[in-house]
Amino acid sequence: MPRIERLFDDMLARKASDLHLGIDYPPLIRARGDLVALRDMPMTKIEIEELLFEIVTPEQKQTIIENLDLDFAYAFRDKARFRANYFYKMTGLAAVFRVIPTQIQSLDDLGCPEAIRRLSERRSGLVLVTGPTGSGKSTTLAAMIRHINLNRACHILTVEDPVEFVHISEKALVTHREVGPHTSSFSAAIRSAGREDPNVILIGELRNNETMKLALQLASYGVLVMATVHTNSAPATIDRIINSFPADEQPQVRGMLAESLAGIVSQQLLKTADGKGRIAAHEILIGTSGLAAMIREGKTFQIASLMQGQQGIGMQTMDLALERLVTKGIITPEAAVEKAIDKESFHKLMKDRGAAVPNLDGQSV
């Protein structure tokens, strides 16, 4: 058994999401959002290299030495999969392992709103799940793919770097492709995807304007395209996509996005009020004719008002999602204020409800 698997057992027992390994630091796990040391003694250069190089192939070892970083997936028997990132920093070789559970949670398990289920049942269009690193984007997308897999006879194609959640074909046929072993790049895989007869395409991340444009084209061809983007809100996601293109291409991209966008789910991960776990708060934007007009006309500043006025079809702002979680007692007002978009208005709302929230300057009231 590789020696690093003892650390994997320890982190799984503590329900941690990440393992951080670096020279001159003890092994650290992220449990319920906080970094916790697994021991007092720091790791040495020899220990780090023995642990990390024991579980990679000679080709992967050569990649980390030549390119100074490496991404890959590691299967820990039948217990879990890990998304691994090796890299160099000032003290030397380091790594972060993110847990990918072998059991894929359902949308109900995650407490996702009904609107997210309806987005996964769309037959075409672009669905984006956005949020900062570690906000649970991949977990939400995996639950959406699981829902499709169990309920629709179709072909689901995933393109990832590396493959994270592994879906066993149920009602659907699921094809996993990994950048590196199976295709040279995201863009190459997306270009060939149209010839592979997919109904649903999951793209691990839209990293540049080339992959964004290809995804928009596929979505306009009658395919449901699902992908992640690292942005903090639905309006910011639209701006990010458009602004990644040269000015002369932006009108065309606005038109493509207005036509193809089915919805955006932007999420934040928060500690639960009981301190025993974490839960996602979801901002939800649904594609409508009104949204299409705003995108074409460059009026993304009006999108927040659109979400507030269209709650009947499942739209909600992040602040409304946070307010609902506070009302249900799932999260604390303090945690909600920290993640709110309009912090001043949200802080006032919580104070008006009698919550003892700190002032925005950090002093308690």
Could you report the per-residue pLDDT of 123-162, keeping only the tens digit for each? 999 999 999 988 999 999 999 999 999 999 999 999 998 8
pTM of the model: 0.86
Query: Which token pair is 26?
Result: 């003890």
Residue 86, strand partner residues: 70, 95
| CATH architecture of residue range(s) 4-101 | 2-Layer Sandwich (3.30)
Q: Which residues pair with 278 in a beta bridge?
A: 271
Amino acid at 297: E
CATH code for the structural domain at 107-316: 3.40.50.300
In this prediction, residue 352 carries a pLDDT of 86
For 286-292, the CB contacts below 8 A with 24+ separation are 286/115, 286/119, 286/262, 286/310, 286/313, 286/314, 286/315, 287/125, 287/261, 287/262, 287/263, 288/313, 291/258, 291/261, 292/258, 292/259, 292/261
Q: pLDDT 10s digit of each residue in the chain, 365 long?
A: 899 999 999 999 999 999 999 999 999 999 988 899 999 999 999 999 999 999 999 999 999 999 999 999 999 988 889 999 999 999 999 999 999 888 899 999 999 999 999 999 999 999 999 999 889 999 999 999 999 999 999 999 999 988 989 999 999 999 999 988 899 889 999 999 989 999 999 998 898 999 999 999 999 999 999 999 999 999 999 999 999 999 999 999 999 999 999 999 999 999 999 988 899 999 999 999 999 999 999 999 999 999 999 999 999 999 999 999 999 999 999 999 999 999 999 988 888 888 877 777 654 44
The residue behind tokens 């009904």 is 114
Going by C-beta distance under 8 Å and a sequence separation of 6 or more, which residues neighbour residue 2?
51, 54, 55
Residue 233 CB neighbours (<10 A): 22
The terminus-to-terminus CA distance of the chain in angstroms comes to 54
Report how far residue 303's alpha carbon sits from residue 234's, in angstroms, rounded to the nearest whole number.
Answer: 8
Neighbour tally for 300: CB within 10 Å: 18
Residue 84: which residues within 8 A CB-CB, separation 6 or more?
70, 71, 72, 73, 74, 95, 96, 97, 98
Domain ranges of the chain: 4-101, 107-316
Q: Angle formed by the axes of helices 209-220 and 186-193, to 10°?
A: 10
- What ranges in 221-317 are assigned the alpha helix state H? 234-243, 250-260, 289-296, 303-309
Position of tokens 């309009």? 342
- What is residue 271's three-state secondary structure? strand
| Other Cβ atoms within 10 Å of 92 Cβ, number | 13
Beta strands in 122-215 (DSSP E): 125-130, 155-160, 173-178, 200-203
**Tell me: the pLDDT tens digits for 242-301?**
999 999 999 999 999 999 999 999 999 999 999 888 999 999 999 999 999 999 999 999
310/263 Cα distance (integer angstroms): 13
